[in-house]
Structure 1
């Protein structure tokens, strides 16, 4: 069973002028801002481009990294990652955003949470 290449991710990466290594670094930085530690490398990015799967939270970090670069809202679905959601914002971790894209991503994540930090089905 062969996987179909992820043309959507490739197109957004090209628009952002991002190589596999640069995107991997940005994804690690976004995860770190959210208090997570990822070991994402250029090899993982190539797997995604080749049609490999991605964890839901990581897809949210990829979308946020590309949103920051392009200064517009990008969702995991825009990147060809169906069935994924944006990164969840940890309770009490809100802060002033560094960009409009980051602000919009934070607001979107908050709309998927119930009081007490529970996820809301969307």
Structure 2
């Protein structure tokens, strides 16, 4: 991406960062939707939604806020590439991986076992 900013786009503005993220997300969404319909998985979505133990609204809200969080993260990562460097962006991304499971243990009182400890140590 840093190469794209410097050599191909030849612009380094925040709107270019957002455009790059929007186009990447659009292509990923189209590929996912094509796969969803080509595989026939779309027919099981209603059952999955109804089987969600907190209800349909919670299911949809979980999906929506997960998408918002990932897009915010992606814009932040691309912004770090734009502002600093791709190496710094990768370091920050790698070091932030174990934070979510640690927060799950702290805030949701999730149990932590041997497998989680090993995965936390292997994440960075």
Regarding TM over 0.5, the answer is no
Specify the structure having the higher radius of gyration (Cα): 2
Q: 1 or 2, which has the higher helix percentage?
A: 2
Normalising by structure 2, what TM-score?
0.30
Higher RCO (CA 8 Å, separation ≥ 6 residues)? 2
Normalising by structure 1, what TM-score?
0.31
